[in-house]
Amino acid sequence: MFTKKNSRDYRLQMAGVRMRPLVFEEKSLMCEFLLEGGHKLPAHHHPYEQSGYLLSGRLRFRIGEEWHETQPGDSWCIPEGVVHEVEVLEEAHLVEIFIPIRPDYLPDPSERRAGPLHQTDNR
């Protein structure tokens, strides 16, 4: 799948958190997030491995029992089932990948393409 810049709108996930799905296939999903400064994402866990890259802003991030102060260029990978939370120290822009895909983060069905995800060339 290939997605052009700004081809999908952001969706409000919770106060201070906007997300838009970028690309996905059968096993992975990439999303873009905008986080407003001063907000917190409460402690939670889920059955998805979550990897991310901070493009701009600052976050205070807890993964398991360890806190991390992030700056642009930092990245993370959170194993499935591990409790994590985020304090948004200043407005942040980031990209995250979820494996397996999070169905609740997928684009609306009308935006999804039909047919097989890959074609095989048997040369």
pLDDT digits (tens, 9 = 90+) for 44-81: 999 999 999 999 999 999 999 999 999 999 999 999 99
pLDDT for 112: 63
CATH number of the domain bearing residue 76: 2.60.120.10
The answer to whether residue 114 scores a pLDDT higher than 60 is: no
94 in a structural domain: yes
* Between 77 and 109, residue with greater pLDDT: 77
The answer to whether residue 118 scores a pLDDT higher than 50 is: no
Distances (CA, A) of 73 to 4, 55, 59, 88, 95: 23, 6, 12, 16, 11
Nearest residue to 50 via CA among 98, 13, 104: 98
Query: What is d(CA 7, CA 41) in angstroms, rounded to the nearest whole number?
Result: 26
Query: What is d(CA 79, CA 64) in angstroms, rounded to the nearest whole number?
Result: 10
Residues making up the chain, counted from first to last = 123
**What angle (nearest 5°) sits at the alpha carbon of residue 49, between those of residues 44 and 55?**
85
pLDDT mean over 83-102: 98
19 in a structural domain: no
Based on the structure, what is the number of domains in the chain? 1
Which domain does 75 fall in, by range?
Answer: 29-99
21 in a structural domain: no
23 in a structural domain: no
Residue 3: pLDDT band (50, 70, 90) is confident
108 in a structural domain: no
Query: What is d(CA 123, CA 121) in angstroms, rounded to the nearest whole number?
Result: 6
Provide the 10 A C-beta neighbour count for residue 53. 13
pLDDT tens digits for 11-32? 999 999 999 999 999 999 999 9
**pLDDT > 70: percent of the chain:** 89
